[in-house]
Structure 1
Amino acid sequence: MATLKEKRTCGQRCEDFGRFVWNSDNGTLMGRTPEKWVYISLYYAAFYVVMTSLFSLAIWVLMYTLDPYAPDYQDRLLSPGVMVWPDKYGEEHVEITYNSSDKHSWTKMSSCLDTFLKPYKDDKQTECDNCTKGTYFFQKHFTTPNNTKKSCSFPRSLLGPCSGLHDSTFGYNCTMPCLIIKMNRIIGFLPSSNNKSQIHVNCTVLSGKENVKKIEYYPDKGIMDRSYFPYYGNLAQPHYLNPLVAVRVDLVGKQQAKLQCRVVADKISYQNFHEPYEGKVDFTLTNLGNH
């Protein structure tokens, strides 16, 4: 029958640990002689110095070869996405719903648009440059302070009655609400190679045509001028402002309609089933106020 292992006391265990830390019989510290501890310390010091140097060199080479103003590889859409404001959307689809008879409802919409347009105030664009309309604004060199490039101004007044300068309600207290269409930015993107055609926004009624009396565009014809392209990135153009198009819809009847607004240009696609916001935006506009 196996004998039970003798249980060691706490004092014996402490004595064994002390002998492990320093064994005076063979002169070892934690199982190694001081000479071996020097060798292994030098080895690991050299190892980590080499590894740190290689890692630092790799980071330096990577940063040296990267362009700080434009990504080497882009995984974004080939065509820009399109958004609509006010961005008070529904849960599943883009549903812009308001009540022209409820001040709280239409104030929420107008406040959203006013906040969105604050960067477009004239006093906010003191460093923007007035560009030649109708032509792309190519810039090979950094001509402004802080190593940046110029940006074309977009005065809020171009949005006409949808600028909020004369009507702070943006039409949401009646049946002619304003919507703002914005195309997302893509560095170096040129929307059109055809100089004869204008880059513009066009809205069509998908359902509820009888509820839409007319659609108005600001600037005229919904044009997005070429002078706002190409975009060189936020670092190169910190004061860049997206060109906007305001759409004013005259709702009648049941005061509900589903619309599609798309940016029309030969390099902008809008039929990608897997990217519903590429080149276009579909939304439902509903006024719950008194008919």
Structure 2
Amino acid sequence: MVGRHSKEKQVGKLSEYTFVFPQKPEPKTWKQIVWDGRDSKFFGRTKQSWWYLFLFYGIYFIVLFSLFWACMECLFLTLSDRYPKYQCEDSLIGVNPGLGYRPMPDNVKAAAMVHFKQHNETEMDYWTSRLDSFLEPYQHSLNSHSDEGSNMMQCKFGEQVPEGKACIFDIDKLGPCSPLNRYGYNDSQPCIVLKLNRIYGWVPDYYDNVDELPENMPQDLVEYIKSVPKVERRQVWISCNGIYPADNEATGPFGYYPSRGIASYFYPYTNVKGYLSPLVGIQFVNPKRKRNIFVECRAWAKNIAYKGGSRLRMGSVMFSMMLD
């Protein structure tokens, strides 16, 4: 009985409550949305609410920025402006330098073709101006008296390059492939300039022993190496030839300047200020006219892997030359 009586009293109390149903909010004008004087709210918040909001986000972004700054500082402690953190075998580039060439056209679709008409000044100027732009840093290096220039020195075979120094590459030694001779384009004997891509700390393993030359090395390069004094055989050798038999007939002889290789004193590359990659000028001495000649140039060293073909090429470069 007691339990029933207490339940009836609770029901009676609940029946006395009035339930307020949600009401449709009173529409506000734009002026009231910006500042509601009845509640002292600015854009729906009181001064205290805005202060708490700015305080929270201020602390949040300060902590977030501090964590980001600490992470970046820890990262930069492991890096150096002088050398990469991961080198040679540990790097993404690896230890097999690519071979590049200049000049290259603006048109990506024709990126492997050098085409011009004989005695057409406009077309020849297009190619020579691109080579001028590429070789401009070399010209500046020879005439520079800046701090970068002080790091550079003339080098010879058999001499040790001091630490912090780099060897000058004199573009005048490109001979017929130099800017002074307009790279041979005016004489219908055009030049292509080759360079090995830089890999920090990489040192070539040279073919400097004439008894250890590979069997697939071109015979003209073998004979050239044998004719070079022993002290000058420490070079990354360069050879060029037509890809197909018809191309070999059309290329004619090649001229190599300043030599058929890249000297050992340019290696290793250690990011010395003012360092410029050594070059080899390849001249078409007597190319056949009106023929699209496909040419492959290859770098030779024991630790340069070679792979031909149009895809995933290694240690070589392919381009075409057409002289109308």
Gaps of at least 5 residues in structure 2 are 1-22, 210-233
- Write the distance in 2 (CA, Å) between the matches of 1:244 and 1:283: 17
Higher Cα Rg, which structure: 2
CA apart distance, 1:10: 4.8
CA contact (8 A) 2:115 2:322 kept: yes
Q: Which whole-Å CA distance do the structure 2 matches of 1:262 and 1:94 have between them?
A: 15
- TM-score normalised by the chain length of structure 1: 0.74
Cα distance change on mapping 1:259 and 1:89 into 2, 3 Å: farther
Match of 2:15 in 1: none
Higher helix share: 2
Aligned partners of 2:130 and 2:317: how far apart in 1? 18
Q: Aligned-residue CA RMSD in angstroms?
A: 3.4
The 1:48–1:286 alpha-carbon spacing in structure 2 relative to 1, beyond 3 Å, is: closer
Q: 1:8 to 1:239 in 2, by over 3 A?
A: same
Q: Distance in 2 between matches of 1:93 and 1:44?
A: 53
Q: Cα–Cα, structure 1 residues 286 and 37, in superposed 2: closer, same or farther, change >3 Å?
A: closer
- In structure 2, relative to structure 1, the CA distance for the partners of 1:255 and 1:39 (3 Å cut) is closer
**Distance of aligned partners of 1:172 and 1:60 in 2 relative to their CA distance in 1, 3 Å threshold:** same
The answer for the alignment partner of 2:274 in structure 1 is 239
Cα deviation digits, residues 2-24 of structure 1 (max 9, x gap): xxx8895657x9499444436xx
The answer to whether the aligner puts 1:225 opposite 2:263 as a matched pair is yes
5+ residue gaps in structure 1? 23-28, 140-148
**1:214 is matched by which residue type in structure 2?**
P
CA distance in 2, matches of 1:40, 1:212: 76
User: Which of the residues 85, 99, 114 maps onto 1:96?
Assistant: 114
Q: Deviations over 1:231-262 (max 9, x none)?
A: 123xxx22011100011112344453211012
Distance 1:173 1:242, change over 3 A: same
What is the one-letter code of the residue matched to 2:317?
Answer: V
User: Which residue matches 1:56?
Assistant: 69
Kindly, what percent of the aligned residue pairs are identical? 26
**1:183 to 1:17, Cα distance in 2 relative to 1, 3 A:** same
Q: Provide closer, same or farther for how the CA distance between residues 51 and 252 of structure 1 changes in structure 2, counting only shifts above 3 A.
A: closer
Q: Report the counterpart of residue 275 of structure 1 in structure 2.
A: 312
Distance in 2 between residues matched to 1:89 and 1:230, nearest whole Å: 32
Cα contact 2:105–2:111 (8 A) shared by 1: no
* Paired amino acid for 1:200: W
TM score, norm. by length of structure 2: 0.67
Contact 2:104 2:111 in 1 (8 A): no
1:255-283, CA deviations, whole angstroms, 9 ceiling, x for partnerless residues? 5321101211122223176433x321101
Q: Distance in 2 between matches of 1:188 and 1:80?
A: 12
The 1:39–1:136 alpha-carbon spacing in structure 2 relative to 1, beyond 3 Å, is same
Deviations 1:126-159 (A, max 9, x none): 43112342577473xxxxxxxxx32211111221
Secondary structure in 1 aligned to 2:241? strand
Contact 2:294 2:319 in 1 (8 A): yes
Which residue is 1:119 aligned to? 137
Query: 1:181-203 CA distances to partner (integer Å, 9 max, x unpaired)?
Result: 11121222223266655312111
Q: Which has the higher contact order (CA 8 A, sep 6+)?
A: 1
